[in-house]
Homo-oligomer: A and B are copies of this chain.
Amino acid sequence: MELAAAKLKFIEAWGKLGSEWGINRTMAQVHALLLISPEALTTEDIMESLSISRGNANMTLRDLIGWGLIEKQHKAGERKEYFFADKDVWNIARQVAKERKKRELEPVLKILNELSTVAGDEKDPEFKTFKKSVTDINKLANNVDKTLETMLKAEENWFWSSILKVFK
């Protein structure tokens, strides 16, 4: 396979994966483009490579900075802003895990805790079923939360060797 074709395929696949995970396609594609680019790129470069408008490129770049996945770079003597992506895939995974934990898991944990306080008649099947589901989900969510917490602090090699050793 040719490098040029492989790049296109990679960008496309990353975009698709992103959209299945609630990250918009363009954002994932811009990230992919920067990830495989050895040099920092300008807004213009990105607009051209992906055939997107200036407005779209600008918003997307801002979002990616907000997710901690890319950074601005200033080149001495140049007006233009350049963007580059952290190339360390473990950092990327941690950064995404951190953001999703904050944006999604934590609000859910908060609600589950509230819902655990519901009072009712232990003889009522409606109450019992509700309580059991909420309690069980709460436990699961807490375990996920603790595991993510560990992941955020961990070195890649240590993390996987620990997990895979136990499970092999």
Residues of chain A touching chain B, judged by Cβ–Cβ distance below 8 Å, are 1-3, 6-7, 9-10, 13, 17, 19-22, 35-39, 87-90, 93, 103-104, 108, 111-112, 114-115, 117-120, 125-130, 132-134, 136-137, 139-140, 143, 146-147, 150, 160, 162-164, 166-167
Taking a contact as CB atoms closer than 8 A, the residue among B13, B89, B128, B129 that contacts A111 in the complex is B13
Taking a contact as CB atoms closer than 8 A, the residue among B115, B128, B150 that contacts A38 in the complex is B128
Chain B residue at minimum C-beta to C-beta distance from A139: B89
* CB-defined contacts of A147 to chain B, threshold 8 Å: 163-164, 167
Q: Is the interface of A mostly helix, strand, loop or mixed?
A: helix
Contact A89 B133 (CB under 8 A): yes
Taking a contact as CB atoms closer than 8 A, the residue among B87, B108, B167 that contacts A129 in the complex is B87
Given A1-B117, A89-B136, 7 further pairs, Cβ under 8 A: A1-B115, A6-B130, A13-B111, A90-B136, A93-B140, A163-B166, A166-B166
A128–B143 alpha-carbon span in the complex (Å) = 39
**With A87-B132, A115-B6, A120-B3 in contact, is A167–B140 under 8 Å at CB?**
no
Taking a contact as CB atoms closer than 8 A, the residue among B1, B111, B129, B143 that contacts A37 in the complex is B129
